[in-house]
Structure formats: structure tokens, C-alpha cells
Amino acid sequence: NMIFDAKEAKVVAVLDWELSTLGDPLADFTYVAMAWVTQNEGRSGVMDLDRAALGIPELDAMVERYCAATNRDGVPDMNWYFAYNFFRLAGIIQGIKKRVIDGTASSSHAQAMAERVFPLAESAWKFAEKAGA
């Protein structure tokens, strides 16, 4: 899902046609940042990993890098964006759960993914409360 520069070792585009949207770039950035507030559990979360040993910057450092690269003064209310993204992901996974129930899921991992709906929604609500809901 990536297009690389023909001459340099760099990504020039990331494609995700299934879920492509035009919207707030902070929604995309905070979707990536969700890894810093998510347990690993064999997935992409880095919250419980030794990030320093792995060469992964702390969340504050990542935010600073992003802001420097995008000429932003900061990322307002990350808790709101985390709530949005956790609810969004729970909704996407709910679609997979429905396909499991209907017997039309194409992935062998669909059942395991379907079990994540409630924990994702709980995380979303936790961040929504932090954001003032």
C-alpha cells in the first residue's frame, strides 16, 4: 500500500483505498499515536514495551517531531482524537464481527479481531471521558 520514490529510499505515497477519506490530518496522526497508549499484546501497541531499548521515541517526542514537520504549535486535545480513533476502529472491527456471525469473514483471524470490539469501545470511552464527555 505504499509508493516509493524511484531514485531515493523514501515513501512518496501511502494508499488505503478501502478506507480512504479526506479529513483532518490530526485524525491520521493520532491514529498512529494510539500505539503509545495501547498495550502490545502481540499487536502494534508500544505502551508496555521498553521503547528506549527498541529505539522508539516517547509520545511527547513523536508529537514534537510531527509538529516540527508540519509547522504546528501542538496537537490540541489528543484525548478527543484518541476517543474518535478508538471508536472508529471499534466500528470497523464491528463490521468484521458481523461477517464472522454471518459466516462470510474471509480472514482466519476474523474471530480474534471480532473479540476486540468491546475493549476498543471501552478504550474509546475512557479517552472520551478524559476529553470531557
Q: Which residues contact 77 (CB under 8 A, 6 or more apart)?
A: 131
Of all residues in the chain, the percent with pLDDT exceeding 70 is 96
Give the model's pLDDT for residue 26: 95
pLDDT tens sequence across 69-102? 999 999 999 999 999 999 999 999 999 999 989 9
Which residue would you say has higher pLDDT here, 42 or 34? 34
Residue 11 bridge partners (DSSP): 4
Give the model's pLDDT for residue 19: 65
Give the model's pLDDT for residue 106: 85
